[in-house]
Chains A and B, each alone.
Chain A
Amino acid sequence: MFWFDQFVNGLTVGSVYALIALGYTLVYGILQMINFAHGEIFMIGAFAGWAVLLLLGGSAIAGPMLIVALLAAMIAAALASSFSAVVIERVAYRRLRNAPRLAPLISAIGVSIALQNVALKLTGGRDRVYPRVFPTGEVGLGDFSVGYIQAFLIGSSVVMMVGLIVFIQRTRTGRAMRAVSEDRATASLMGVDVDRTIVTTFIVGAALAGVAGVLQGLWIPNIRGTMGFLPGIKAFTAAVVGGIGSVPGAMAGGYFLGLSETVGRELLNELPGVSLPNEWRDVIAFSLLVIVLIVRPTGIFGERVSKRA
């Protein structure tokens, strides 16, 4: 069914945006800085997962081994991305924590460009491709069916997002993150280790982006050094639409952007006299963004920004 399929397409790409957007929003919530190198964290995760899948046998992976391999790839991606994020935070952001706001922003853009070029250099600028190990086919009832990969991608994202909410709401570390985000100085006086909490935030955001890289690789399938740039910008947009600093906002923003690029564009095509082929998707997505921000400058879930301001 056409509309259902487009809806699923929107959810798929929206899931990737949402997972990356969470990293932007977590870091913003705690440091009020935009980590523009976050798209490259996503790219690093994609490459780490790819390397693990190749080590475990590449396209020969099948049967129960597939589950092990997928888990291993996702864990490796989360670790590689988290490790990179910790290094980046230590090297490029920590010293600038009390500098004027523009300084860490520029530093982040610098890290982003540097990482892209290192990746291009290491790969010789050539694409790599995920082994096509995931079974193709569809699950569902009649017209309402979803490809296995898309179902897996959407399902895994939801699981991770639920996990993230539980982590933030129910654990000690999560409580520390919320405390530092509300008021860093007071949290520090209350005995919260601020540096550690900030590093934890980077790790959590990076792990989500890293796994998103693997999920996208399984789906797309080619990966390259510059692959993090556009999703990074889009996810940042999603985070802003949702209300930057807000966790549910980043999730909602990701799905909103994904759906407006696909279902939104097709809906506009239904209007008489309107023809908006695929090349209009970014125009539509970003126009909607401008409209949302004019109507609601703090984003969909963005009350906290205005309260803090």
Chain B
Amino acid sequence: MRLSTRWVRVSWLLVLMLAMALTVVACGSSDDEATGTPVATGTAVAGGATATVAPPESGYPVITVGAGEPIKIGISTILTGDLQALGIPIAQAAELAGKDVTIEGHAITFERKDDQCSSEGGTSAAQQLIDAGVVGVVGPVCSSSVIASQPLYEEAGITTISPSSTAVASTAPAGRAPYATFFRVTYNDAIQGPALAKFASETLTAAKVYVVFFNDAYGQGLKDEFEKAYTGEVLGSEGFEKGATDFSSIVTNIEQAKPDAVFFSGFFGEAVPFITQLRESGQTMPFLSADGVRDEQFITLAGAAAEGAYLSLPSPTLSGDVYTTFKTGYLAAYGKEADTSPFTAESYDAASVLIAALKQVAEVDGATLKIDLGKLRDAIAASDLTGAIGRIAFDEKGDNAGGETPVSFFIVKDGQFVPFEG
């Protein structure tokens, strides 16, 4: 019954390797995204990295909607895990845009799939939505999911409109032309990063900052844009993994470095333990972060530690008729305010853009409806409409070039996000 010593050693090594592999999976940080190289999922890559957008090689399919059947729109968002607080309102906002809408007598239904804000989740949700026969997709929410799933959607000829992916790489993939089937409503980190850097040096008058970032496409991308634009001194720049809880070592380094402000690039799930440990260790310097943290959950969970935190959103302070319609509609439908969580207005707009384009291209064919996804893509690319966040018109890469003053700032005061004016 007893095993030889060598066998015991070998099996230990195996169990250990399993443990390490599991850790790597759990951490879920993909180096591909970090460096911005495209994620190889075995798909046709357009020859040569030209600036023009090439159509997918396999062409666009035509989807037939049967008599009396609804038109299916996919939503790729975060439905499980700690970030669902971010993902579910985004899905609800998109669904609101399609409520009671009919196109040639066909209603619109939404198919929600969980992308878990990860690369793996993004591709799995993409596959499910493609199999479900959706005509277009609102999402994915997170840049990591966007970057991983773009090749799949491109090959299937299905256009995606992300309300919230802010990474520069989403519309400027390394080593190839931008994807023809990707658009986003929000403004990218090449705008938000410099705005944050300017806010740090001018409004917070911080000559030295310490940077803490989440090791994924969003966290790293925003951090890079911030550091590129920041004119002061970056005393240190440290990353963390998904689900990190112990920030004591970073906090001690911050205590030692004595920065004028701390910039946090990531999501609220890790911002909560970080800011709690920072404040409880007696550090009072300003805390600056962006859209990933500007969620009600951050205030609910961090409580007193969240007070005085500065947060940005890559959107103007919202107003206007469409926004009011959306806001009242959202409150009536879901019983809560739309602005407690970021990117709901963007998601409403993404769905509206998609629906407006569907109305243009849907062709009645007897009792059925034919939707040419190529025409749909072109109609989306040519959209020019006023949404809840302002004018929406895409440039050739798929970025929204319609807006004017895209970054707004907030401060946490008495447990509320209060717009912060200079």
Contacts and interface: CB of A to CB of B under 8 A. Distances in A.
A27 to B, nearest CB: 14
B59 interface: no
B301 to A, nearest CB: 5
Contact of B26 (A126, A233, A240): A233
A308 B82 contact: no
A309 B2 contact: yes
Contacts of B241: 279, 282
B4 A309 contact: yes
B256 A279 contact: no
B80 A220 contact: no
B236 interface: yes
A224 B84 CA distance: 13
Contacts of A9: 246, 248-249, 252
A145 to B, nearest CB: 10
Interface string B243-262: 10110111011011000000
Contacts, number: 132
A230 B237 contact: no
Which secondary structure dominates chain A's binding surface? helix
A13 interface: yes
A222 B303 contact: no
B157 interface: no
Interface string B269-295: 100110011001110000000000000
Interface stretch (B9-17, B200-208, B378-386): B9-17
A152 interface: no
Contacts of A114: none
Contact of A224 (B3, B8, B82, B300): B82
A226 interface: yes
Contacts of A2: 252, 255-256
A126 B27 contact: no
Given A120-B80, A230-B23, A309-B5, A222 B272 contact: yes
A66 interface: no
- The listed residue with most B CB atoms (<10 A of its CB), out of A9, A237, A308, is A9
B109 interface: no
A305 B6 CA distance: 12
Interface in A193-223: 216, 220-222
A308 B2 contact: yes
- The listed residue with most A CB atoms (<10 A of its CB), out of B12, B246, B256, B272, is B246
B238 interface: yes
B303 A120 contact: no
A125 B19 contact: no
Contacts of A59: 303
Given A9-B252, A125-B81, A282 B27 contact: yes
Contacts of B29: 279
Interface string A217-252: 000111010110110011011001000000000000
Given A5-B255, A277-B236, A289-B16, A265 B249 contact: yes
Interface size classification for chain B: 35 or more
A261 B273 contact: no
Nearest to A229: B26
B20 interface: yes
A305 B253 CA distance: 40
A47 B395 CA distance: 49
B22 interface: yes
A13 B9 contact: no
Interface in A257-309: 261-262, 265-266, 277-279, 281-282, 286, 289-290, 293, 297, 305-306, 308-309
Contacts of A127: 82, 269, 272, 297, 301
Contacts of B276: 132, 220-221
A220 B85 CA distance: 20
A261 B243 contact: no
Contacts of A221: 272-273, 276
B303 A129 contact: yes
A10 B248 CA distance: 9
B26 A236 contact: no
Contact of A237 (B9, B19, B281, B305): B19
6 contacts: A2-B255, A5-B255, A10-B249, A129-B272, A230-B23, A265-B249
Interface of A: 2, 5-6, 9-10, 12-13, 34, 59, 120, 124-127, 129, 132, 136, 138, 147, 149-150, 216, 220-222, 224, 226-227, 229-230, 233-234, 236-237, 240, 261-262, 265-266, 277-279, 281-282, 286, 289-290, 293, 297, 305-306, 308-309
Interface of B: 2-5, 7-9, 12-13, 15-16, 19-20, 22-23, 26-27, 29, 80-82, 84-85, 212, 215, 236-241, 243, 245-246, 248-250, 252-253, 255-256, 269, 272-273, 276-277, 280-282, 297, 300-305
